[in-house]
Structure 1
């Protein structure tokens, strides 16, 4: 009996550089057609590509080496031979409506939102005429796993790119150029204090990739913290106390994910799951004259004044191995952050966290400026307060959404090795419509 002939195959996916398994026709990571991309006569192989990113995110060779990749260099789906398809990350899924990617804020008005359209955002996903068409071949419909049933290409996910703007705050989040999904989440909102003055809220969470369901953890934490702040601030709670309660509420929301039926924690009589869903959190609240921040983990908040001759400042301290080494006087900051253990976090939200220690601080800035609240996907490319100020547009306070977009672009231009999420909160908060979100 003759053996079944093996189709030619590349040693790495031409779209995401993921090494395929021997005999794969489609990329397990992004769904690209490996057989169509392979040159004639190429021997099948399952070996790793020399151009694939290393564990640290740097490329060890290949076609992309020697230049800074642009966002369009890494589309979610490899383009079909014909006809040419639009970039799915621009929300080009045929028939897919724009659906808010950020957690919904009841009663919000005047908000500008944009997300990458995709199967997760389409109510007709499970069948019927409402199912979206593939952005690559424009013929096949999309299955529940997000792949085209005709050509196998992966489609854009709802959270791949998210933006939201309200009066006095804006945020943007992007999957980045290396990760296959966005595990960050954010929430922005506003509330009215008892005297009618406005309070503006921004929450940013970063899912811990080594844990289970990091994307669910970050979304649950962001929504719970936002809801807690919008409930406690109108009651007259001090912003610092409200922030502490919000972080506790976020922790409880993440903990509950490990106790859902079918999870390891539930099957073990609700014992702590060794690798429970986990995330970091950082949040900022701007009230008249007071700026309050709260955090656990290594997501950060920065203060950047309008007058750039005045020094910017970092408002948070990382819960990380590097920060502990510096605090103990065992290493300089440069030495600690150059170590491969630098970003190992020592504090997080999750059922397997050692203990819950929310950090909160309040400040009274004496001049106008903005608070930049972000994940390490941004600050890895603008680590010091001075670098963050240089990356931020000079008109950030009057154009917070544009500024958030610019900062996301700064991280993508720098390499985009992680998910990128940033909120820009002007100080002082603009007057009016305090209770509109």
Structure 2
């Protein structure tokens, strides 16, 4: 039998290998095959890059919101925001800005087909050399002959099978979210949580949390799942007690950070097996929509966009990235074109995790003056619709009435553009309608 070359890590996903491994324990890569460099660019650690002192971001010329009686204002939207700056290690974001594909505009279908045609699927099944496993045993999607073991790998070819998190969809009356593995990653390291709650006066509040796992860290999928669950639970507990949504969002980010930090307290044996891995880590972005208020919060480079329903006002990005490029622009050291042309542009400077030097939750509140939709997403989507007007063009016209369909369309937009990263998006109509409370 041909023996694989002695490798210290998987050439596909960089998972640490043990001597004699025939297949990668994380992605099922056949180690006897010639190593192939992966095409995706997951979030990686880059140490030693200084963080520049942040300055307030440039104000938009027009802002689609009505003024508030008190507080800082951005155009016509009343906003208050807390953003502190300290030196932290820098992590590289998943995709470069230059992966955008030109797309022909076409009429939106009634039902967007998801998952889209996917190069991950095997083009043709090999002829069965052995009888198919009997009973209820699952058949391998790769070789079509072997049965799938309880650990999720084929007993014949060792190929990792699709996971439940490869494609997830959730829908409530007032919000919907979709997450997809994308076309290049071997697993989905994103996670989300959506829910609704009743404020003390009985009016509704709608919550969406989206998290992006840091691929260079250990268990990034667990980190994003823990963070999204903790933040959602914190908000659902705080909002009915009358805590202001902006304060509730800040506290939710702190709770999410605590949940991710707890993952770092792994057994000593596990730490010895992965001595050079970073602690579990992820980014987080969230939104709370009520009858008249929109609150956003974030740490990292996932984003929130505002898109008016009537499209008469401008679409606006409501968050500022914790990234190298954003800080170079804010500090006046580079213009935007220069900063985003740099190979360090997407290195992130804020994340949740035990190795984050200091947690810096950012929050802001707005009072839009017209109906719209709020798009909460990871960079797996906004890399293919970065500018606010590009995102608005990708959002279906009926997004407020069909949030799940709209989330499906946006994920499909990213997959059609190349799908280099995991893709997660939540769509929340504004204002929140009086509908039943729940969570997903």
TM-score grouping bracket, smaller chain normalisation: 0.7 to 0.9
Q: Which residue of 1 aligns with 2:407?
A: 404
Q: Is contact 1:258–1:273 with CA below 8 Å preserved after alignment?
A: no
Alignment counterpart, residue 310 of structure 1, candidates 297, 313, 329: 313
Q: Which residue of 2 aligns with 1:201?
A: 207
- Could you report, residue by residue, the CA deviation over 1:340-392 in whole angstroms, capped at 9, with x for unpaired residues? 10111111100010111111111001000000000001111111101100111
Residues 1:46 and 2:34 are matched in the alignment: yes
Higher RCO (CA-CA < 8 Å; seq separation 6+): 2
Residues 1:415 and 2:415 are matched in the alignment: no
Residues 1:246 and 2:252 are matched in the alignment: yes
Structure 2 vs 1, CA of residues 313 and 29 (structure 1 numbering), >3 Å: closer, same or farther? same
Structure 2 vs 1, CA of residues 351 and 266 (structure 1 numbering), >3 Å: closer, same or farther? farther
Structure 2 vs 1, CA of residues 246 and 273 (structure 1 numbering), >3 Å: closer, same or farther? farther
Q: Which residue of 2 aligns with 1:236?
A: 242
Number of residue pairs aligned between Structure 1 and Structure 2 = 359
TM-score of the two chains, using structure 2 as the length reference: 0.73
Equivalent-residue separation in structure 1 for 2:403 and 2:379 (angstroms) = 19
Equivalent-residue separation in structure 2 for 1:217 and 1:253 (angstroms) = 8
Q: Is contact 2:40–2:420 with CA below 8 Å preserved after alignment?
A: no
Equivalent-residue separation in structure 2 for 1:399 and 1:5 (angstroms) = 54
Structure 2 vs 1, CA of residues 221 and 66 (structure 1 numbering), >3 Å: closer, same or farther? closer
Structure 2 vs 1, CA of residues 141 and 197 (structure 1 numbering), >3 Å: closer, same or farther? same
Q: Is contact 1:260–1:266 with CA below 8 Å preserved after alignment?
A: no
- Could you report, residue by residue, the CA deviation over 1:211-259 in whole angstroms, capped at 9, with x for unpaired residues? 1111110000000000000000011110001001100000000000001
- Unaligned 5+ segments in structure 2 are 5-11, 42-93, 105-114
Residues 1:212 and 2:218 are matched in the alignment: yes
Q: Is contact 1:282–1:294 with CA below 8 Å preserved after alignment?
A: yes
Equivalent-residue separation in structure 2 for 1:326 and 1:237 (angstroms) = 35
Q: Is contact 2:40–2:421 with CA below 8 Å preserved after alignment?
A: no
- Unaligned 5+ segments in structure 1 are 8-15, 35-43, 59-64, 84-93, 96-127
Q: Is contact 2:195–2:437 with CA below 8 Å preserved after alignment?
A: no
- Could you report, residue by residue, the CA deviation over 1:7-34 in whole angstroms, capped at 9, with x for unpaired residues? 9xxxxxxxx999xx9x998788765889
Calculate the aligned-residue CA RMSD, in Å: 3.7
Equivalent-residue separation in structure 1 for 2:437 and 2:363 (angstroms) = 23
Alignment counterpart, residue 191 of structure 1, candidates 189, 197, 209: 197
Q: Which residue of 1 aligns with 2:120?
A: 75
Alignment counterpart, residue 301 of structure 1, candidates 290, 299, 304: 304
- Could you report, residue by residue, the CA deviation over 1:27-63 in whole angstroms, capped at 9, with x for unpaired residues? 88765889xxxxxxxxx973647xx6375879xxxxx
Alignment of 1:243-322 (within 5 A): 243-262=249-268, 275-322=278-325
- Could you report, residue by residue, the CA deviation over 1:130-157 in whole angstroms, capped at 9, with x for unpaired residues? 6533345555321244222134333111
Residues 1:389 and 2:392 are matched in the alignment: yes
Cα displacement (A) at 1:197: 1.1
